Structures are given as structure tokens and as C-alpha cells.
Amino acid sequence: MPSPAVLDGLDELAHFRDRFVIEDDTIYLDGNSLGRLPKETGPRIHQLVYEQWGATLVRGWEQWLDEGLRIGDALAPLIGANLGEVAICDQTSINLFKLASAGLAAGGRDSIVTDRANFPSDRYILESVASARGGHVIFADDDPTPESISELVDDTVGLVSLSHVAYRSGAMADGAAITEVVHEQGALMLWDLAHSAGAVPVALSQWRADLAVGCTYKYLNAGPGAPGFLYVRSDIQTELSQPIRGWFGHADQFGFAPDWRPADGIRRFLVGTPPMISMVGVDVGIALTTEAGIESIRGKSLALSSAFLDDTAHLGDHGITTITPTEPAHRGSHVTLVHERGFQIAANLRDRGVIPDFRAPDLIRFGFAPLYTTFQEVATAVEVLTDILETRSYLAFDEERSGVT
Amino acid sequence: MPSPAVLDGLDELAHFRDRFVIEDDTIYLDGNSLGRLPKETGPRIHQLVYEQWGATLVRGWEQWLDEGLRIGDALAPLIGANLGEVAICDQTSINLFKLASAGLAAGGRDSIVTDRANFPSDRYILESVASARGGHVIFADDDPTPESISELVDDTVGLVSLSHVAYRSGAMADGAAITEVVHEQGALMLWDLAHSAGAVPVALSQWRADLAVGCTYKYLNAGPGAPGFLYVRSDIQTELSQPIRGWFGHADQFGFAPDWRPADGIRRFLVGTPPMISMVGVDVGIALTTEAGIESIRGKSLALSSAFLDDTAHLGDHGITTITPTEPAHRGSHVTLVHERGFQIAANLRDRGVIPDFRAPDLIRFGFAPLYTTFQEVATAVEVLTDILETRSYLAFDEERSGVT
């Protein structure tokens, strides 16, 4: 294995690190939670605030009104969607509610399949959507396969909703095969791409996926709480009726007609006035990712996570295991280590300048963001982790639970 | 009547104009659609972007996580609510969907009363909420009164939802009296404060209002598409179950429990990760409004709109009428003139540096934002309008419809 310095020297994406504001020595391995700040974002926000809002006032809407659709089209190639199939709007949870409700209603069935390890917000929302129709949620085991899903989809199930990359384990599901078995059973497939967008190639059109949602503040580096996205395959858009009928989804937004009439295309899934200042970061983040190329990003991501898995393989003696698949094709862009003292170890790592993410009760997630994570950082993080485990210095840290998103 | 210059000289809020970025001669009378940019907002956004997101990365959430509730508490006194009853989150339309759904479900009745002139997004959303329960929307005439509402609320009606200040006419409803008659009929009262917050005093607690929503980018000057707010009276919070069960509303957000358990208090009405960069403007705008005082703002607002109504009263000869109540207690902070050539007149006004707002088919709205609108601006706007009407110069402008929010 070449040294980290050599790998960084060979890295064709290395120069993208200079596109981010990095003024610290922190080894930031939590870009799977909140990505770093691109240098272009601050000036672009300044421009929107002063040159658009401040100077053109309400006339700014002539430029802003369709930004959610324009930037959605920019995102489309990164997730394998076509133009007119993606919109930036609202938060991921709300988009999931809208699309899951619309999808379930369209099929006339009442239950939903998801997996027990899906993100809590997804599970809670899917349960409320199903129960509103008199159905319920059927839970697959963690890290679902085409077989485990196929077994659960009977003729009461109208929708299957899964995370493409699992937030806990980092396992990546087989998008094509799962979508296919779901369709064979007559249900719609909704993918949550929160941990996929900007990190791994996604091929929604090729999979014939029906619906998808995702967030932009992780690997797309759009900033804290930036609006999420939604995808609806073009040929089913007109069949779907979403439950939150806001004026941005109306066929004639400024006609102020007495009756609801949904817009053609993806626009019908919009609701209200988008938060334009937070939207700027979405535009910048997607452009930066597009410039780097999702295939190159995936290549570097796997190289980083492979190096991390190799270098931590010997830590089993210290009680470390992993729930992340070692097979590259089966994982996303983060690796999750398990240790019963995970909370303390994560606190100790942060104290020493390595930022992972802790998830109760015992998971430490290490996210690799190829646009700015270096091989040297990964190697140093492993060295620090090893030292912490060998010296048991983590015992000096409190055991109480954290509250980091 | 003292001259505009004298009135500006006497204006105790005059110095607040210096708190806004105003580098043009535009007479901006569309603050009821999008408020101006406070000087403090740009630097505060810069600080969040660089010092928090850029420098502290995911640890920024230690500061951000409860901002929606903290700023909600700051807004509470401006709308007559108590601490713990208001949250800043999502967009107004989504908040309306959440609260209308929760309110209707709690009462066990299925229909909703609103008025025909309510904002389209409100009407569409209320219709979808009612029809999801097998009910429907019953429409009152424009500018509802306690009597007109009372007549319509029978034992099928679980919720009445009205705009406190009507977006078209600028008429202000009698919050206390309407809430009282609604309660007498056993229904809940939901107020949309989009055109009230920051412009007129609202007394939600005193009215015993059950629910309210509103937006922050109009008179609160929070910026394009900044998050909205919601209010739920404290004694009914635990009875209400909102339909979009996101992790920000869970009793133990980071416990990632298998089951949904709503948080105590107003937090249960939150859904997902808030757009923090857009949230900054809400904080600044509310603080600025609080500093000025809502009673002072109301006083100046009425003085401005009274001057405008007086000065335009003679324009009837030119085909101008108004649908805004001339009685001060019955109007909000904008005045709506009607002219069959309204679109052309509004275009002509904009061309001459006066920015009103046009609403199809024939309404020209003039909004008065007391924090930055001067009496001289109002006088000049009337002069320009009078000249346009006398010379019929508007005939040179296109008749096509506009698309301004």
C-alpha cells in the first residue's frame, strides 16, 4: 500500500480541498452529517443578500421563483434522474411525507415496507402516512436485500421506502434489484438518498425508481439545514397528488384561482416560498460536486474508506468491530465502528482534533468526504484512535449522552 | 394636516430607517410582500457562515438546535402569546397544514370554515385537510365578521381558519369577537398572521386563540422565504398530534427510539432540520421590531395609511376605488386601490420608482412598513399616482399579467 502522502499526491481530486474554507487542523470526518463550507458560498450569499434582496427587493423573485427547479435540474445528473424530475424544496422529512402520502394514495393500497434501521424520522413519518390510510408499516431487518424485501411486499403494500445508504451501518442497498422486486409486487419504490447524494452514483432512471428524497447539507455541502430535494419519475408525476397544496404547486401560481389545480411536472410537489438565502448553498454545493464528477468522487471515497477499514482491522483486540460491509460495492461513504465505550471514545477523539459522529448506543461513524478529506487525515485519525484505545485514555471522558445531529 | 416633512420630523420611529440598507431612491411600498434588508442581517449571516458553520462545523448544532424555539419566544410578545407557545419553523403553508390537520383531528369534526378571499394557499390547504377527513370547506364572504362566521359554524365544523389581516383588502378581522363565537360553537380558531406580525398588535392569549401561523419575510423583514412561525396555546398542546412526525418533534430527538413519542410543549410541532442561514434574518427582524415596539409601529402605520387614503380620496374621478376599510381599527398596514387598468398603473408606478404590488385582476396594494416608510414617500407616491392617472400615461404599458409574489 502506498503511503498516505503518495496517495494524496496521486489524488486527482486533491485540489478541491482548496475550494473549501479550512482554517484549522481539525480532521473532520463528519461530513456525512454536515459538510464543510465551500469558499464560494459566502460571497454568493453576500451577493444574494445585498445585490438581490437589498437592492432589487421584491423584484428579486423574478430570479428566485424557479431556483428550486433550476437547481433541481442541476442535481438530476448526480442522482441519475432526468431534467424535470427533481426539485429542491422544504426539508427531507417533509418531502418524504409528501411523496410517501402521494405514492400510497395513488396505488390504493395502505401499508408501507421499510427497514428497522431506517432513519428515525423516516420511520415515524412512514408510520403516520400508513396509519392515516388505515394501514401500517411492515419492518424488514437492517440492511435489506431484494430477497428480504420481496418477502414482505404483499398486496396490501403500496410503497417500499428505504435509505439507499443506511445512516447507521453505511451499507448500500442494491437500488436496481430492490426496485425491480418491488415493482414485480405492484408497489412503488421510494429511495431516501440523504447519505448517497454527492457521495455515490445513483441511477434513479435506470433503476426505474418511482420516488426519492434526500438532503443537501451532508456530502453536497449546502450548509446547515439547507433545503432538501425530491424526485418523481416523469411518467408518474401526473398520477400523483400530494397532500400539502401550496401555491407554489399550483398550475397558475399568481392566478389565485378559487380551485386547486396542480402544476404540470415536478412543480406540483412544491408548497411554499423557499428560503432563498439557504438555497444559495445548495446551488454552490451541487455545482462543485458536478465539477468534480460523481465517478471520481466515488473512486476516492472507496479508496479512503478501504484504507480506513484496512488500518482499523487490527483493532478487534481493543473491542472494536464494524457493522459496515467490507465489500466496496456494498457500502456508501462512511464507516461505522462499534465499541461499548463508543461515546467516550468519540469524545476523546474530538478532544484530540478528530471529529467523528456518535450514534447511541455504541456507534462511531467516520465519514469520508472526497472533496476535502485527505488520505493523510484518515491515516492520522486511525493513529489517534489506536493510541486512544491502547492507552485507554477514553476512560477519562464522561459517559453521558451527546446531542449532536 | 401637517406637511409630510413635519410628520417625518415628529416621527419617533424615523431613526429606524437608518437600520436598513437603503441605497436607492425607490419608494418601496411592497414591504407587505418582502420587507427590506436590515443592516444587521448581512454581518450576522456572515458570522453564522464563517464563525459557526465554517469554523465549528457540526458542533454548530450545539448553538443552532433550539434556535427555532428561542426565536419563537422572542416573537411571542409581538403576537400576544406566552413563552413556550411559538416556534419558528418550515414555511407558512406547511405550518398551516400541520396545525389545521392536528386541530381538526383533535375535535373529531370534519369540516372547516374559511373565507373566500383568504390567501389561495390557505384555501387549497384547508380544502385538502378537510377532504382528507371526509369533510369540506365552508366559505364565508370576504372580510368576515363575528356574525358571518357564527352563522356558518355548525356541529360539523371543527376548525375556523381566517387571515387576521386580509391579503387582498387589508381589512383586519375582530380577533377577540370571532374567536369567541367560534368557541361558542365548539370549534377551534386558527389565525393566519402573515399580514399582521410586525405590523399590528395581535393578542392571541387574550383572544384565547387556539392556533396561529404566519410568515416573517413581510413586516418582520426576515428575508426572502425565511421560515414561518406557528403558535399553539399551551393548554391544548398535548391534545394535538400533528401529521408530519419528524425527529425534531420527538421527545428524545437523539435517542432514535423505535416509536414516535411527541416532545412536550411547542417542540412537538417541529419536523426537520431548520435552514439556519435563512433563520438568522428572522432573529434580526424580530429583534428590530421588538426594539421599535409594536404599539409605536401600529401608530405610525395608521398615520401613514390614513395619509394615503386621504390623499387618494379625490382619485375616484379617475376610476380609482378602494376595498380597504377607511375606519382605522378595521384595517392592517396596507391599502388596496382598485382600477380596471391596475396592472398597467402598477407597471407605470414601478417605472417611475414607486413599488406597489399588483394582484390580479385589478388590485394595486400599497404597503406601509413603519420601520422604514416615510411620510414624504407616501406623499410622493400619491403625487406620482395622480400624475399617471391624469396623464393616462399607464396606457403605454403592457396589459399582460405579472408574476410577482
pLDDT at A147 over 70: yes
- Residue A365 designated active-site: yes
Give pLDDT < 70 ranges for chain B.
400-405
One of A16, A28, A97, A119 is an active-site residue; which one?
A119
Q: How far apart are CA A68 and CA A79, in angstroms?
A: 16
Q: Which amino acid is at B123?
A: R
pLDDT at B215: 96
Cα dist from A354 to A24, A304, A351, A377, whole Å: 11, 16, 7, 9
**B230 and B94 both lie in a single domain:** yes
Nearest-angstrom CA–CA distance, B215 and B211: 14
Pairing mode, if any, of strands A334-338 and A321-322? antiparallel
Looking at the fold, whether A236 and A370 belong to one and the same domain comes out as no
Strand partners for A91:
none
Across the interface, of B245, B247, B277, the residue whose CB is closest to A45 is B277
Helices (H), A161-275: 175-184, 204-207
Q: For chain A, how many structural domains are there in total? A: 2
> In 3-state terms, what secondary structure has residue A102?
helix
Query: Would you say B62 and B43 are in contact if contact means Cβ atoms under 8 Å apart?
Result: no
Contact yes or no for A225 and B276 at CB 8 A: yes
CA distance B227 to chain A (A): 7
Residues B260 and B131 placed together within one structural domain of the fold: yes
Is residue A321 within a helix (H) or strand (E), and if so which, with residue range? strand A321-322
Amino acid B400: pLDDT: 59
Considering the domain architecture, whether residues A265 and A298 belong to the same structural domain is answered as no
**Residue B246 and residue A124: Cβ atoms within 8 Å?**
yes
Q: Are residues A129 and A146 in the same domain?
A: yes
What residue has cell string 401608530? B299
B390 is a domain residue: yes
Domain-located, residue A102: yes
User: Strands B27-28 and B354-355, how do they pair?
Assistant: parallel
Rounded-to-integer distance, Cα A277 and Cα A255, Å:
26
ipTM: 0.96
Start-end of H helices in B261-399: 276-292, 294-312, 342-351, 375-391
CB < 8 Å to B49, chain A: 37, 41-42, 45, 223
CA distance A364 to B85: 36
Q: How confident is the model at residue A400 (pLDDT cuts 50, 70, 90)?
A: low
Q: How far is CA B357 from CA A213, B168, B223, B297, in A?
A: 35, 10, 17, 21
One domain, residues A262 and A310: no
Least Cα separation, residue A225 to chain B (angstroms): 4
Give chain A positions within 8 Å (CB) of B256.
120, 359-360
Picking from B25, B33, B66, B93 by the largest number of A CB atoms within 10 A of its own CB, the best residue to mutate is B93
User: Inter-chain contact B50–A59, Cβ cutoff 8 Å?
Assistant: no
Contact B127 A401 (CB under 8 A): no
Note whether residue B120 is domain-resident: yes
User: Which domain-ending residue is among A291, A306, A324?
Assistant: A291
B37 within domain boundaries: no
pLDDT of residue A404: 46
Instruction: Determine the structural domain holding residue A273 and report its residue range.
Output: 42-291
> What pLDDT score does B201 carry?
96
Tell me how far apart the alpha carbons of residues B332 and B328 are, in angstroms, rounded to a whole number.
8
User: What confidence tens digit (pLDDT) does each residue in A306-355 have?
Assistant: 999 999 999 999 999 999 999 999 999 999 999 999 999 999 999 999 99
B115 carries an active-site annotation: no
- Residue B321: its pLDDT value, please? 97
Interchain contact B353–A (C-beta under 8 A):
no
Residue A267: what are its φ and ψ, rounded to 5°? -60, -30
pLDDT at position A105 over 90: yes
Contact B124 A402 (CB under 8 A): no
CATH number at residue B145: 3.40.640.10
Per the annotation, the verdict on A11 as an active-site residue is no
pLDDT of residue B402: 47
Please tell me the predicted confidence (pLDDT) of residue A256: 86
* Residue B134 forms contact with A (CB below 8 Å): no
Which of A92, A128, A255 is nearest residue B245 as measured by Cβ atoms? A128
Q: Which residues of A touch B92 (CB under 8 A)?
A: 272-273
Using an 8 Å CB-CB cutoff, list chain A residues near B278.
Answer: 275-278
Same domain, A256 and A335: no
A114 and A130 housed in the same domain: yes
The reply to whether A260 and A127 lie within a common domain is yes
Residues A285 and A339 in one domain: no
Say which of A30, A273, A405 has its CB closest to residue B91.
A273
Q: B356: closest CA among B385, B387, B332?
A: B385
Cβ–Cβ pairs < 8 A, chains A and B: 274
Under DSSP, the state recorded for B57 is G
Residue where a domain stops, chosen among B291, B310, B327: B291
For position A402, what pLDDT does the model report?
47
**B346 Cβ neighbours under 8 A, 6+ residues apart:** B356, B357, B358, B364, B402
Q: Which of A219, A357, A365, A372 is catalytic?
A: A365
- What is the mean predicted confidence (pLDDT) over A277-298? 98
Does residue A376 belong to the interface with chain B, where contact is any CB pair within 8 Å?
Answer: no
Q: HSE (CB half, 13 Å, CA atoms) of A208?
A: 10
Nearest CA in chain B to A92: B272
The whole-angstrom separation of Cα B382 and Cα B312 is 7
Residue B259 known to be catalytic: no
Neighbour count for residue B220 (Cβ, 10 Å): 28
Rounded to two decimals, the pTM is 0.96
Minimal-distance CA residue of chain A relative to B43? A46
- In sequence order, what DSSP letters do the residues of B175-235 get, joined into one string? HHHHHHHHHHTT-EEEEE-TTTTTTS---HHHHT--EEEE-SSSTT---TT---EEEE-GG
**Is A132 within the bounds of a domain?**
yes
Angle, alpha carbons A22-A24-A26 (nearest 5°): 105
Q: Which residues pair with B212 in a beta bridge?
A: B191, B231
Please list, in sequence order, all residues whose beta carbon lies within 8 angstroms of the beta carbon of residue A69, skipping any fewer than 6 positions away.
A87, A88, A266, A267
CATH number, domain of A334, equals: 3.90.1150.10
Domain end among A253, A276, A291: A291
Q: Measure CA B322 to chain center.
A: 21
Residues B301 and B332 in one domain: yes
Q: Which residue of B121, B260, B359 is the best one to mutate when testing the A interface, meaning the one whose CB has the most A CBs within 10 A?
A: B121
A217 is catalytic: yes
In this structure, the number of other CB atoms found within 10 A of the CB of residue A216 comes to: 30
Task: Calculate the average pLDDT of chain A.
Answer: 96
Enter the DSSP assignment of A51. Answer: I
Contact A45 B49 (CB under 8 A): yes
CA B26, CA A31: separation in Å to the nearest integer? Answer: 44
Any B CB within 8 A of A262 CB? no
A145 touches chain B (CB under 8 A): no
Same domain for A210 and A94, yes or no, is: yes
